[in-house]
């Protein structure tokens, strides 16, 4: 089975290390373990970057290779048409995840450009949102 790609945007390397009242205490390494344990039948290619161009290059490279992407675009969710354009050039399934419920937070977090491309959006389930996203993709891609 080909790998599912799990992409994490800026500052998510700090998960579990700061602001636990918003993002919880699990680190990004814990999230990676959770993803690997959840995506039965698929490999997981798990990445994080603080550089928007690098994220876009990874999405381009996924074309024709990875059948699904789980993406937490972090702050780029609310700013990046370039990220949306890259996802629109990708033919596979996309699920957007946010650890926090962006709709309960500041109004500038309420809109995500990526949501226009995602087939599902999970927000506010904490890091379990990644597991839910992978369960959805695995079921959808095996069917
Ligand atoms: O809730 C989410 O997963 C977010 O995508 C996290 C982003 C935020 O900009 C989005 O609005 C919602 C922030 C990335 C994590 O930043 C941290 C900063 C300090 C400590 C821990 C994480």
List pLDDT tens digits, range 38-87: 999 999 999 999 999 999 999 999 999 999 999 999 999 999 999 999 99
CATH number of the domain that residue 114 is part of: 3.40.50.9100
Residue whose CA is closest, atom 6 of ligand 1? 74
Please pick, among 23, 90, 113, 130, the residue that the annotation labels catalytic: 23
The answer to whether 113 is a known catalytic residue is: no
Residue numbers of the domain that contains 115 = 3-142
Ligand 1 atom nearest 9 alpha carbon? 14
Test site for ligand 1: of 14, 20, 70, 74, most ligand atoms within 8 A of the Cβ: 74
Q: How many domains does the chain have?
A: 1
Test site for ligand 1: of 75, 112, 122, most ligand atoms within 8 A of the Cβ: 75
**How many other β-carbons are positioned within 10 Å of the β-carbon of residue 19?**
12
CA separation for the pair 53, 34 (Å, rounded) = 27
Name the more confident of 2 and 73. 73
Q: Using an 8 Å Cβ cutoff, are 51 and 9 in contact?
A: no
Q: Give the DSSP H or E segment for 7.
A: strand 4-8
Of the candidates 141, 128, 103, the one whose C-alpha atom is nearest the C-alpha of residue 23 is: 128
Indicate the pTM of the whole model. 0.97
Split at pLDDT 50, 70, 90, the class of 143 is: confident
pLDDT of residue 39: 96
Q: What is the mean pLDDT of residues 16-42?
A: 95
């Amino acid at each position: 089975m080909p790998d599912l790609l799990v992409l994490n945007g800026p500052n998510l390397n700090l998960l579990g290390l700061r602001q636990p009242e918003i993002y919880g205490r699990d680190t990004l390494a814990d999230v990676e373990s959770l993803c690997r344990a959840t995506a039965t039948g698929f490999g997981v290619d798990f990445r994080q970057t603080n550089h928007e161009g690098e994220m876009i290059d990874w999405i381009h490279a996924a074309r024709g290779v990875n059948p699904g992407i789980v993406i937490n675009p972090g702050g780029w969710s609310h700013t990046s048409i370039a990220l949306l354009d890259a996802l629109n050039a990708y033919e596979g399934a996309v699920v957007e995840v946010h650890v926090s419920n962006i709709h309960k937070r500041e109004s500038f977090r309420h809109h995500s450009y990526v949501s226009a491309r995602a087939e599902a959006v999970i927000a506010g389930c904490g890091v379990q949102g990644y597991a839910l996203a992978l369960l959805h993709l695995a079921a959808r891609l095996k069917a």
